[in-house]
Structures are given as structure tokens and as C-alpha cells.
Amino acid sequence: MSRRRRARRRAGLAASIAIVIAVVVAVSAVAGQRSSRHRQTAAAAPTAGPRQPQAVLRPVRPAAPRARRVNEAAFGYIPYVELAGSRRREVALTFDDGPSAYTPQVLRILRRMRAAATFFLIGRFAQTYPQLVAKEAAEGFEVGDHTETHPFLSALSPGAQETQIVQAAEAIHRGGAPYPRLMRPPYGAFDHSTLEILRARRMVMVLWSADTKDYSRPGVARIIYTAVSGAQRGAIVLMHDGGGDRSQTVAALPRIIIRLRQRGFRLVTIARLLREDPPPANQPPPAPLSGR
């Protein structure tokens, strides 16, 4: 082999060794950077302590009050609701004439059974029990207006009607609930002036499609039967948590919730009913449920 060929071979071998060394150095540098980043991350992370016991799952509360506001688009064509649409198997439980000493019992049942509901409050009782107004709102239940003193609105002048509605709404708001956008006329009594007042204030009048007549204390079994048999798509069930002895209503409520769910109904608020399955835009004018 000539000296020239041996020199070329030695040069090639040296070049190959240099390339290998360069690759090893580069790989080591990258690994060092990754190790450094890992050490920094580990240092930043808190030191793991003893393993904590698994958290206890608690019942999910109803949605926050802000999520229960009536859909603003509904106010353009829904002056009232008595029975919502029929596309969904949804029913709204409603309670009138509170708050009262029976309201905490009703709230405990609803909360324990994860059931939504809407409460229509009398203004003077909202002033007596502001802590219950705040509790209903804080726990995600919907709060509506049921006038200041529970009169027959159709027997009042337009000015007196507006005073009844506004005073109750302000008492509810002062108690800690959002300013009500729903109003239920006591006894289902109203007239054209009532609807005009509500339209001007962008409120919806809420009637009902199933009346349990629990105010007359017909017995627990009868209250359950009336509520469940009156259930249909979009139904609004009327009950009471105030205005007298409501122990029968409290006793009936768990069975009502269970049986409605067994029949495939989901319990929702009035706002959700209007948002998800409103009544038809061409529904006929409302008729007073009191006959007055």
C-alpha cells in the first residue's frame, strides 16, 4: 500500500472518529438540558404528602341562580305560561305563599333529592324571612313574585296592582334573590291591566296546569295522586310552602318526586321550561283560573 493511500485512510478514520465524538457530545447536552428541566419542575412541584382519602361525592345542587334566569328572547312573545311545550318530558314543581316555617323542610327535601323547583314569594313574608329568600337563591332555586299581600288582583285598580307587584319584587330582591322576572297572580286572578303591567316590566305571568289543592289539606295520598296524575309534558304543578299548615305537603313531596321520575319526567324550573320547551307563540289569551 502506498504512503498516499495510507494517509487518506488515516484521514478518513480521524474524520469518522470526530463525527462520532460530536454526536455523543450533542446527545449528552440535550440529555443534560432535559434532566435540568425535570429537576426544576420537580423542585417547583409541592412535595407529595401522605395519600389523602378519596373525596366523598356530594349531591349536585341545582344550577346557580344566574343560570336560571328566564330566556330574554321569551319575553318577546310569551306573556304567560300555563302549560309549556310538549317536546320534552319535563315538569315544573312550584310552591306558593312562602317563605314560612315549612320552607326549610321543603328545601331540605329538594336538595337531598336533587330536584329543581320554583318558589313564588309573598312580599311581606319575604321581609319576615329574608334569610330564607337568600337561602333559596343561594341554593339555586328559582324565586318569583306572588304580590305583596296576596290579594285578588282583578279586584284592584291598575295602580294598586302595580304597587302589589313592585313591592313584592323589591322585598324579594332585598332579601338576596335576583329581581324576579316571573309573577304568579294569587288565586289565578288577573285582568288585562295585570298583563299590561307585566309586559311593561318584562315579566312573565305563571299559571299552572295541575293544582294539588294542598292548601285544603286533603291528605298526603291525595296530594301525591293529584300531582302525579296531572303530570304531562310541560306541566306546571301547584303546591304551597306557606299560608298555613303545610305538613301534608312536606310529607307528600318525596313520593311525588320519586313517582314523577319513575314515569320518566325530569324536574326543572319555570325558566328552564320556557327556555327549552316554551308554549306555542299563538297560544290563546289566558283565562283567570279563579273564575274572577
* 96 DSSP β-pair partners: 120, 240
Q: Which of 277, 205, 266, 279 is nearest to 62 (CA)?
A: 266
Instruction: Give the three-class secondary structure for 162.
Output: helix
Q: Are 284 and 256 in contact (CB under 8 A)?
A: no
- Among the listed residues 96, 97, 145, 241, the single catalytic one is 96
107 Cβ contact list (under 8 Å, min separation 6):
132, 135, 136, 139, 141
Q: What is the C-alpha separation between 133 and 135, in angstroms, rounded?
A: 5
CA distance 60 to 113: 10
DSSP-based three-state secondary structure for 94: strand
Q: Compute the distance between CA of residue 262 and CA of residue 259 in angstroms, rounded to an integer.
A: 5
- Point out the catalytic residue in the list 145, 240, 241, 245: 240
Q: Are 90 and 273 a contacting pair, CB within 8 Å?
A: yes
Separation between Cα atoms, residue 277 and residue 280, nearest integer Å: 9
For residue 240, indicate whether it is catalytic: yes
Which residue type does 274 have?
A: L
The 3-state DSSP class for residue 257 equals: helix
> Radius of gyration of the chain from Cα atoms?
33
* Residues annotated as catalytic (active site), given as ranges: 96, 240
